Structures are given as structure tokens and as C-alpha cells.
Chains A and B, each alone.
Chain A
Amino acid sequence: MKKNIRYAFILLTICAVCAFALGWTNSITSPVIARQEIENKNKALQAVSNGWEIGEQKEVAGESFVTYMIPLTSAGKTSGYIVGLKGAGYGGELTLVGSYTIEGELLFAQMLTNSETPGLGKKSENEGYMDKFKGTGATSVVPTTKDMLSDSDAAAVSGSSVTFSAVAKAIKGGSDYVKTLGGAK
């Protein structure tokens, strides 16, 4: 009994010291991380805005792929939307932003957060990865399977089909959502 209490006390002391170290580190790093996330999101919104004015963010509930939407205006008229998207990647949830015309055609998209495999699914962060989806969603279909891609694009996503599928379905979901918002207002 005495021995067990001693063991418990030793483990408790080690855990308490570790918890203190973790809490102290977190107090230093969490404000930096939060600031970075806001900066990254703002940069991504600017990058996909097509030069149009970015409006107020509105949360979207009950959609499988859409988390929020932001209207884009040009000369006081709604010209498109930025849509916050989510998907189920290989390493868990991934989030991205996409901008669409009011007809649902993808203008730009950018990955925000993901836990995909380095060297494979992580390539979805690379500049140019989203090019295969640009211009789709209105008059042409969003490619959601590898056989809808050109040979070079299919080779580029080889080994990361789950990531490609997650991104493609999210972009298609965003396009379908934008179409429900109606035309120019």
C-alpha cells in the first residue's frame, strides 16, 4: 500500500511538472499562432478576391462543405463570393477558401489548413495545384475523379487520391452552394 502511494506520488509529480511546462509554453506560443492564423486567412482572402471588394463574413450552417461565405462586390454590385470550404482529407479535416462568380464558376482557391502526408497530399498547398479546378463549376464540370483530369494533372495527384477527392468535392460543394444564392443583386 505504502509502495503504491509512493509510485502514485512520483507519477503525479512528473505529470504536474510536465503540465506546468506545457502550460507555460502554450501561454507563449498560442498568441503567436492565433495571429498567424488570422494573417494567413486574410492573405488567402486577398489572394482569391480577384481584386473585388471583400464584404462581411456570414456563417453558413447545415452545409456539408461550406462553413462561411463573403460577398465580393465590384462597382457596388455583387460580382461573386468567397466561400469557406472544408473536406475530409487523408490526415483529417482540411479547410480551404474558394472564390466563385455568381454563376458558380471557380475563380481561385487556396488551401488554409490540413494534416496531409508530406510529399503527397501536402502538395495541395503548392501554387498551381488548384489550377486544374479553375474555370469549372458553371459551364464545365468540376473534376472530382482522376479520370476527369489530363494525364499530367492525374500524374501530379498520383499517390494522394484522397486529398484530391476531398479538395474536388469541397470545391464542387462550394460551387453548388453559390448557385443557390442566385444571380447578380
Chain B
Amino acid sequence: MKGNHMKELTKGFFKENPVFVIVLGLCPVLGVSTQVSNAIGMTAGVFFVLLFSNIIISALRNVIPGSIHIPAYIVVIASLVTVTEMVMHAFVPAVYSALGVYLPLIVVNCIILGRAEAFASKNTMLDSALDAIGMSIGFGMGITLIALIRELFGSGTITLFPVGDFGGVINIPWFYDNPVRVLSLAPGALLLMGYLKAFFDWNTSRKKGK
């Protein structure tokens, strides 16, 4: 039983990684991954919404009839996203400002509705919460990896959050003076996503071959 819970938690990391394996929620992944701080902020938003939507939908799975489950899920998810948006706007305005339009777009992020439909509506609250945590970590790993590569090569910087005297931006010598601009732009995001997806597919098939 413990093993099953562990499986629900860890499957989202690599085996069913939402970005590189299930390929869900690519709009924010490609749009926000220009800076590492944006990727971390988006991960926090997705984590909150996915965790609570999975828990609520799992708790209501025997109450919501099948024929109205989609509108019911959308109401729950949209409300959680709006709560996240209001809280971020009030208490972390820098992250709210950086995420811009992608924060409200979490409503239509396929990971949220996908996990509600495919998992939370059929499983217990504990398993649904573990699934949400695992998937959020997997999403965070994917988007942060893409953001790290894009920002390092595209701008020569790594942007984190300002703390005390630290302004939040680390300039990386050589890369800062020789940026590959295309990686900061939308085509660069698509190219990088393609190469990383190919790498993960190759790695998976190599392991299966063994």
C-alpha cells in the first residue's frame, strides 16, 4: 500500500513527466520560460491550483454526476486560479507582474483539467494529493530546465528573486557578452523543447532496449 502511494508521488518526476512525456501544459512552459524566476513562480501557481483542485475534485467525485462533471471542474479550477491570482497580486507583486497573462491562463492549462479528469475523479483524496505533488514537481523540473537553458544561452543571466543586497540577477561571464538571442524568443523555445523531447524519448527507448 505504501509502495502504491510512493508510486503515485514519483511517477510525475520522470516516467510520466507532464512536460516531456505526457506533453501537457506547453503554453505556459514555452511562454514563461524566458527567466528562471518566472518558471519558479509558475510552478508555485500550478502546484497550488493542482493540489487543491485534485483534492476537491477527489472529495466530490461521488457527488458530481458524470454529465455535469466538466462545468463543475472548470468552476472549481477557475476559482482556485482566481484565488491564486489575487493572493500573488497582493503578497508577491513581483512574481504576479512577471507571470503576466500566463497566471490566469492556468485555468486552461491541460495539466490541471487532465489530472482532474484522468486521476482525481477516480481515486482517493490522498492518492490525488500525491499525484498533484508529483506532477507539479515534474512540471517544475521541466519548465525550470527549459528556462535555465534559455536564459543562460539567450541572455547570459540567471534571474532568481531579490533577497537583501542580492538584486536577483546573476550575470554569467562570456554568455552575457555572447547571447544566442533566438533562445529568448518564441522560436527558440520551440526548438529547445523539440531537442529536449527528442533527448528524453531517446533516453526512454534506450532504457527499454536494455
Contacts and interface: CB of A to CB of B under 8 A. Distances in A.
Interface of A: 6-7, 10-11, 14-15, 18, 21-22, 25-26, 28-30, 32-33, 36, 91, 114-120, 122, 125, 155, 158-159
B3 interface: no
A158 B188 CA distance: 13
B22 interface: no
Given A22-B83, A25-B86, A155-B181, A14 B102 contact: no
Interface centre among A6, A32, A116, A119 (most CB of B within 10 A): A119
Interface stretch (B6-14, B92-100, B106-114): B92-100
A33 B100 contact: no
Contact of B72 (A11, A36, A119, A155): A11
Chain B interface, >50% SS class: helix
Contacts, number: 84
Contact of A125 (B68, B71, B97): B97
Interface residues of B, number: 35
Given A33-B89, A33-B90, A117-B101, A7 B68 contact: yes
B43 interface: no
B65 to A, nearest CB: 6
Contacts of B181: 155, 158
List the 9 shortest-distance A-B pairs measured between CB atoms, nearest first: A119-B34, A18-B79, A29-B90, A32-B90, A29-B86, A159-B185, A25-B83, A7-B68, A118-B100
Interface in B58-73: 60, 63-65, 67-68, 71-72
Contacts of B99: 118
Contacts of A122: 97-98, 100
Interface string B145-176: 00000000000000000000000000000000
Nearest to B185: A159
A166 to B, nearest CB: 15
Contact of A21 (B34, B83, B90, B98): B83
Contacts of A114: 100
Contacts of B186: 159
B75 A118 contact: no
B29 to A, nearest CB: 12
Contacts of A22: 79, 82-83, 86
A118 B102 contact: yes
Interface string B31-54: 110110010000000000000000
Contacts of B89: 29, 33
Given A118-B35, A158-B181, A15 B75 contact: yes
Given A22-B82, A118-B35, 11 more contacts: A7-B67, A7-B68, A11-B72, A25-B87, A33-B86, A33-B90, A91-B101, A115-B100, A118-B99, A122-B98, A155-B181
Given A10-B64, A11-B71, A118 B79 contact: no
A182 B102 CA distance: 44
B195 interface: no
Contact of A117 (B67, B76, B93, B100): B100
